[in-house]
Structure formats: structure tokens, C-alpha cells
Structure 1
Amino acid sequence: MSGREGGKKKPLKAPKKDSKDLDEDDMAFKQKQKEQQKALEAAKANASKKGPLVGGGIKKSGKK
């Protein structure tokens, strides 16, 4: 065994996948997912502006 053969073998290149045809259902589904993602991003932006939802945390009674 020579030193040139050691290590991982490179995998053979996989053939390129053909772009599959999208029908109306797939197009509608992808559009719906994009809209949901945009709504989620907007909700995250609004939530980060307002600060924490709970302001109290653990209350200390002051007694010793």
C-alpha cells in the first residue's frame, strides 16, 4: 500500500437532475409557503420591537 492511495476516495459526480415540471397545485403550494414565510418574518420583527412580554419575572417579597 503506497501513500498515494490513502484517504477518502472522491465520489463520482452525480448526473444533473432534470427540472421537474410543476403543475398548478405545486405552484399554489409554493406561493402559499412564501406568504407564510413573509408573515412569520413580519411577526418576528414586530415581536422584537416591543421587548419582553412578561415584565415581572420572579417577585421578591422583601422578607428575611
Structure 2
Amino acid sequence: MSGRQGGKAKPLKAAKKTEKDLSEEDVEFKKKQQEEAKKIKEMAAKAGQRGPLLGGGIKKSGKK
């Protein structure tokens, strides 16, 4: 019996990813995606500050 057989096995290392050359279109596309994500994050932060949009709902009178 070997000493490493029991217990949790170590995961295999993933191969290193090679950096591929990006064309100008790819660079522009990535920039556009980052800008859109930034806008969405800002809009979500603004929406969270205001509070509920619908304040009404069913209103009950004080009478029983």
C-alpha cells in the first residue's frame, strides 16, 4: 500500500492557457461588453436607492 492512496485525491492541474492574438474587432467587442456591464451595475445601484416602486397595494379601511 502506498501512503497517498487514502484520503482525498489531489485534482489534476489544468493546462496553461495560451494568450491568443485578438483582432481589433474582438478588442472593441470586449470594451463594449464591459461598458454595458458597468451601466447595468450603475442602474441596479440607482434602483436600489429609491425603494419600492409600488407603494399602494390593497388598502384597508379602519372600520371592521
- TM-score of the superposed pair, with normalisation by structure 2: 0.71
CA distance in 1, matches of 2:7, 2:18: 33
CA distance in 2, matches of 1:28, 1:6: 51
Letter in 2 for 1:60: K
RMSD: 2.2
Letter in 1 for 2:45: A
Q: Which moved more, 1:30-39 or 1:13-22?
A: 13-22
Letter in 1 for 2:10: K
CA distance in 2, matches of 1:11, 1:50: 47
For these two proteins, the number of residue pairs brought into alignment is 64
What residue in structure 2 maps to residue 16 of structure 1?
Answer: 16
The structure richer in helix per residue is 1
- TM-score of the superposed pair, with normalisation by structure 1: 0.71
Unaligned runs of 5+ in 1: none
Unaligned runs of 5+ in 2: none
